[in-house]
Structure 1
Amino acid sequence: MRLFNVWLFILWMNVDESLQQGAIRCGHPGDAQFADFRLEQGDDFVFGSKVVYTCHKGYQMMSRRNFRTCMADGWDAVVPVCEASQCPPIPVGNNVQVFGDTDEATFGNVVRFSCKSSREILEGPEEVYCDETGQWSGQPPTCTAVKCKVPMIPNGFVSENKQKYYEDEVLPFECNDKYKPSEDRPSRCMKTGQRVDWSPTPGCEPIKCKLKLPPLEGTSYTPEYTNLFLPGDSVTVRCGDRYGITDRQVETADVLCKKDGEWEIQPVCREVICLKQAPHVRQWYDMWRRAVIHDMVDYYCESGYQKPHGVTRATCTRGGWRPDPLCEEIPNTGTCLLRTDPDAVIQNSKAEYGYNEQIHYVCSAGRGQFSLTCSEDGWFGFRNGSEPTDCGSPPPLPDGDVRYTMRSQYKHCEQVEYMCQTYYTMEGEPYRTCVDGEWTGHMRCLKPCIVNEDIFRQHNITLQTNDKPFFIHDEILAFKCARGSPSGRVAMSQRCSSGEVFLPSCS
């Protein structure tokens, strides 16, 4: 026994000497997947050293031991095992749409949510993720009906006793005295993405009248330094040479700001124009060109009327066409004897005709009809001579054309028919007749009125029915105020007159 103890002592001394000399080494302890290790005990991988393994973020230790020790015969135990942290299943309602794996999610997995119905909105997070501890970053959301809470409105109040409003419902509110709604549009409960709010935001602002700055062409204001005015204030509007205010007449006007924050009349100068229509004017030169102030335009009077002495053209002024009237009745100064035509039958035959009286012919074989007028110099529209003369091609019709193929020569009493372009209106009979080398008969194609939203907005008006892009001549246009009330002297219903129409204004 004494000999055995001596042997053990000698063995221990040898081991201790070997350790001191670095003879027993364990080598690398082994890498663990998803983990790192550190030397916790000892200076090297030698007998007695201890390494501790730590799992990466989001992973958890599955082994019972997280360390290994260097023994005389190598590292004890096995390399520890780390696995990803797993989050528990997420319970969601049937009306919640889920994007991602809610049953077997591991660290880093993201789950997103939305509502299946567009009439509902999420209450809670739009997404959650599985964290390093195996827990979800938030509670799952729910889907509820879109609804808005009653807002607090400075200088205003909600006019009904209701605590919640659902999608598309309008908030009824009123403003305190001397305040008005900030927006013209009603405030509705609206969903935008995952946000529910009132649109536009309900609010009240002090009642003021506003001017558009910089002013439109031909318009200037006094005072010039502000564009906001309180009720009772006024602004002086001055118009340029070619512009006018209050039905386009006066050059200067003082416009009052009313209690409701609207102007008494629209403080805007508009270009003065003259419509090409006047009593007993048969035809205008360049009919379709717009006439503005100071323009001078040639015109022709109806049969039996003449221009005032010394007048050659009409002048557009702020007060309309000058001179007024443009056409005066010609006094009766003579008579005309019956004039027969071998190619026509007279409908109102008699021996003598008074001044400005007409004789009516119907061409033989039904080829047309024409009339001659008794004038100071005899029959107007029929040249003297025993044999009637043929005619060349009929004259062109602006915005119209001959219905059938045009020829270069027509017989006396022969007739051609005209037609207007689409949407234009024929004024007068659609026929011209060759009478002794000249074409008789007068017609014209009257323009339609085209809807111009930009001009309507300048007058603060719109059509009562806005499904038509145009109105034919003589058709009635019924207007209404876009906001405010009618102002000025122009009625809210106007007649289309050859492409032009007087526009009312609202303020």
Structure 2
Amino acid sequence: MRFPAQIVWLMWWTVCVAEDCKGPPPRKQTEILSGVWSEQNYPERTQATYKCRPGYITLGSIIMECKNGEWVALNPLKICEKRPCGHPGDTSFGTFQLERGEKFEYGAKVVYTCNEGYQMLGSINFRECESDGWTNDVPICEVVKCLPVTHPENGRLTSSALELDKEYTFGQVVRFVCNSGFMLVGPAEIHCSTNGVWSGESPKCVEISCQKPEIANGNAASLKKTYKENERFQYTCHQGYEYSSKGDAICTASGWTPTPSCKEIICASPHIENGNYAPESIRYRSGDEITYNCKTGFDRSTQGNMATCTSRGWVPQPGCTRNRCDFPQIKHGSLYYEIIYRRDFPVRVGKKYWYSCKTNFVTASQEPWEYIHCTKEGWSPAVPCRRQCIFDHLKNGDNPKRGVKYVQGESVRVNCHAGYSLQNEQSVMTCTESGWFPPPECILLKTCSKSEIIIENGFFSQYELTYYLNKETQYQCKPGYVTPDGKTSGSVTCLKSGWSPQPTCIKSCDMPAFENAKAKSNVTWFKLNDKLDYECHDGYESQDGRAGSIVCGKDGWSHKPICYEKECKIPEIENNLNTQPKKEKYKVGDVLKFFCRQRLKRVGPDSVQCYDFGWSPNLPTCK
């Protein structure tokens, strides 16, 4: 049999070029080599099949082939990936954290913790994703409980719990009250704390009692040592001392009321006008005595010249009284026949003389003649002649119907015509020694005109055009504008220098209405260009992410602060995989379950969940 030359050459080239693989296929970390590989060499095109190690999965088979003396993967992209476990499960009254790994897949570990006031049943607080799914059950958190509390003897308790004498749960409070005649020793209330222990020991109710007090510089009236509530304790003070408040005290839950005590009797240095005393000292004790004398022209007000320091002060009260009067100097008046009587002075207390006043001045009784008396305090009346003012006209004001007389020191309120006022803008005249002050004349006041003011973005809310001095008028800001202090209206006042500071209305924005968001500030209004930061509620986001900001502009807020509910895109699902439930959009927290068509087997998790970052774990496939 003869072969064509080309075929012979090709067979010869194949034998010469083909090269065996030395040694078995390589061992891999995530894959297991199938079959027995005990030979030293393996011919060209020998294939080795791998399967994934427990905890890893892939689609189809992973095959390596001997080519040109090397083992080469037929499909390099086909590798073993960690098997997903799906969501580990939430626990009521607790949370979990992913402690190992980044996804809910093989090798991941989540650790559960209970909220404050709750404790975990059992000692296992974690779940691990292994080759056959999550280990352990989802931990259970139950509320912390404290043992029942009993009523204190001679007292009672009130509680926030529905039933007394039962176990209490975290945060519940028990309050204690003692019966009449008893008081608490210990806390008035205790609460069930996070570790299941009461925040304090239960108090006791002890009988209210007071021990006999020790009184410095005093003695108890009774030998009794212990007193019950509302019993009275009486005592006396030593000589030279007196009660600080009163001579008895009552036993109460807070102790003796008032506190029984004795204080030393002290007298200050006496003030003796027109006299002197000895010995001189800053203070005197009970029983100390002084001797006093009066200056010439004055007599002692007591029978003797001695005074004693007592609990009632100086007894008798020392003093000096006048016994003679010099010639009276009567301003705006004179004594009757004073040239004749002048030689009689000084005169003794009790003497009296006629006197009269000059024109426009009157006596104390307003009679033409009146007595002036020499008394221990001096001449009476002290001001014999007082000015008389007559109110019978008011320039630029309302005149009285008839003249009215006023005496020095008396005042009258007057009414000036509109735009006028008394001197210094007063409205009351007083009769003085020199006559009326201010004079009975109303002078023209300063006025202000509305035309002098232009209120940008505002307007006057009162109709008058002209305002007198110190007159106030209101102005209103247009909608969307406020005064510098954030109000919708303000006021200006007419002053001597003109209107008070120029009224201003500035652009403002009120607190906006949020949708699924809240402000980060408590301010209620905002000026032009003010920025307001806000943040979205959990599960929502704005165009800028979790938080955003708006700016107050001339036309209001820059945009409406809206946060939209976070969503996950509808995943791309292969034809053989059915999902439930079917929705047009999925929100954060939604769970999507998977089912394969008949005769196909699911490879991967049976469900995935929508998170802030997207779906997790990866979607399964059907084989």
**Is TM more than 0.5 here?**
no
Q: TM-score range by the shorter chain?
A: 0.3 to 0.5
The TM-score with structure 1 as length reference comes to 0.42
The TM-score with structure 2 as length reference comes to 0.35
